[in-house]
Amino acid sequence: MRRIPSRFVVAWFLCLLIIPTVVWFAGKRAQPIENKPLAARPVPSLQSLRDGTFFKDLDTYLQEHLPLRADLVQGKAAVDSKVIGESPNPQVTLGSDGWLFFTEDLKRDCSVTSPGDVIVAQMARFVAATDAAGRKGVAYIGPDKSSMVPDRLPAELRDTCTRQLSHQIREELREQHPAGVPDLFATLDRDDIESLYWRRDSHWNPEGAALASAEVVNTIEPGLWDPSAVVVGDDTSHVTDLTQLMGLPEEEASPGVTIQRDGVTTTEVPTSDPNVARHFQSTSTGARLIPGKTVVVHDSFGNVQMSLMAPYFEDVTFLWMRAGLTDTAKSADGRWYVTWPGLATADLAPVIRGADTVVYQSVERAADVRFAPDSVTGLLAAMGIPQS
């Protein structure tokens, strides 16, 4: 094999140094290309210098802030996905006809997951304990896209243990039909299911979220949801999370959905609390509202539902349980579960403890964690409902 002349190596090295520098002075700055913000500039300390974490964080910072990084990553991602036919990010699985899936939905370690009967039993436990305390409880699961649109998956991923767990949850919901636990798998199992999820995002779209919201509202107060109040408007564009993970951010269009109830005025209440996603209050000249204070504990699947559900409540606060707000702990059987320390803080305790209605939502892929016995116990304790 011929050896590459050293002058070419030196020239390549100089290009790597000079070109980004020139681009930076020309005003081009790095932009986030993944579903997260750019790394912050690390601040050195004696501890971080001693254990090496400062240099590791500095390396990450420099890589992510390289001016041409987005162009290089997007170029490679385009070649991988459109030429080679492979996903440039293992977190994203390529489906058929342009569909994308979140890999975590498909390839989980099923040896450490709770079975479907335990998940549904804990959902029912949360509702029963909340109701017994003189409040109203609702628990529900937002079905993964891979569960509802399996025909778009690669053939080898249509019958994994994760999919079997999904079938268990469906069967338990169908057979047990516990009070206060709407079955959104059945709700969304329609001929037009592909129109209810984003093709290149991991979530349901506004139309799917509206169907889910109807079930939640009617679970709290049967018959309250008014289908005629659902207004489907012009297409709205949304930058899909899976294309961002691939380094190829794309917009996808879907019909916008709003709720217009006669005589109902809904106002968003400003909040500076980082744990409170949004807070709404509604007044009505005749249409019924769910009375008192309601708190919805949700993940990203609940984000689209906020403005759709708000016009049905006198007062509703949405607490978005993002990954950054959770701690992990180990239960007696060696499994990992998530607790919600933010709910027990002095600021948030009055919010959730004073609620007349509490809605607890989880995406399907996290249901075994969110509805693990210890997680439900922790949430009930945060609500001021002790469990023996």
In a domain, 111, yes or no: yes
In a domain, 31, yes or no: no
Distance from C-alpha of 141 to C-alpha of 139, rounded to nearest angstrom? 7
In a domain, 319, yes or no: yes
In a domain, 12, yes or no: no
User: pTM of the entire structure?
Assistant: 0.77
Judging by beta carbons within 10 Å of its beta carbon (0-12, 13-18, 19+), is residue 40 exposed, middle or buried? exposed
pLDDT for the residue numbered 45: 82
Residue range of the domain that includes 215: 100-382
In a domain, 76, yes or no: no
Mean pLDDT by 10 residues, the chain (388 residues): 56 54 56 61 78 73 59 49 60 92 79 80 96 97 95 86 86 94 97 95 96 98 97 92 86 95 97 80 97 93 95 94 46 41 52 90 89 84 79
The tokens describing 314, both together, are 């006198």
Distance from C-alpha of 79 to C-alpha of 134, rounded to nearest angstrom? 58
In a domain, 71, yes or no: no
In a domain, 315, yes or no: yes
Number of domains forming the structure of the chain:
1
In a domain, 83, yes or no: no
